[in-house]
Copies of this chain bind each other. A is one copy, B any other.
Amino acid sequence: MTTLSVRGRLTTAAFALFDERGYEHSTVDDIAERAGVGRTTFFRAFPSKDDVILPDHDVVLGAVKARLAASTRETALVAVSEAARLVLLHYLNEGDLARSRYKLTSSVPALRHREAASVQQYQRVFREFIHGWMGGGPETGLNAELMATSVVTAHNYVLRRWLRGLTEHPEAEFDVAMAQVIELFAQVKPDHSGQGQASLVIVRTTRQLDSVLPALRKILE
């Protein structure tokens, strides 16, 4: 019996019990008994009752880190996109298990909190990678964080659409969403002009943008 199969059995048992008796009324002992193992085995596999809903979290997070590490400066954005794709594919492969989790996290606060924390862990891994790619200095700290959060948000947006039965083509939608994120951040011009302080000018117009932009640029350059 491998560790993985014990984890899988504990997760299946927990999901079934949460569904039958409710989360509050399912103890770690109940879950271990249903899975045919002891309490000690449960705690060797998971730190707490809540962690049982994300049995592969560490494995998938590790795969994301490995995919990011296997990149160069030139292929960094491809690596980001493919690493996020790995997470999506994991959920798609889970199938009904992913759908059961979605039902549980939608109704049980403690499990929703646990899942929110796992989202933050992904954000952190992407943030550290992207920040390194951007040079790692304080002037790119916020931008790296915004991009990392956007990558994870785009992933979750498509995942949620699939979990809700709103799309049958999650992989194709993911590619479009990720392209949108990368395009968004590609537009950010590097800000080290050194020339004086830059100001942000925000104005509203009802004129056609195409007709005014050339004149605008001339004034502001």
- Interface of A with B (CB < 8 Å)? 47-48, 50, 74, 77, 109-110, 112-114, 116-117, 119-120, 141-143, 145-146, 149-150, 153-154, 157, 177, 179-189, 193, 195-207, 209, 212-213, 215-217, 219-221
Query: A202's closest neighbor in chain B, by CB?
Result: B202
Of A183, A188, A216, A217, the most chain B CB neighbours within 10 A belong to A216
Shortest A74–chain B CB gap in Å is 7
Flag if A186 contacts B202 (CB, 8 Å): yes
Interchain CB contact under 8 A, B200 and A202: yes
A120 to chain B, nearest CB (A): 5
Is the Cβ of A205 less than 8 Å from the Cβ of B215? no
Selected from B77, B153, B212, the residue in CB contact (under 8 A) with A146 is B153
* Cβ–Cβ contact B202 & A198, under 8 A: no
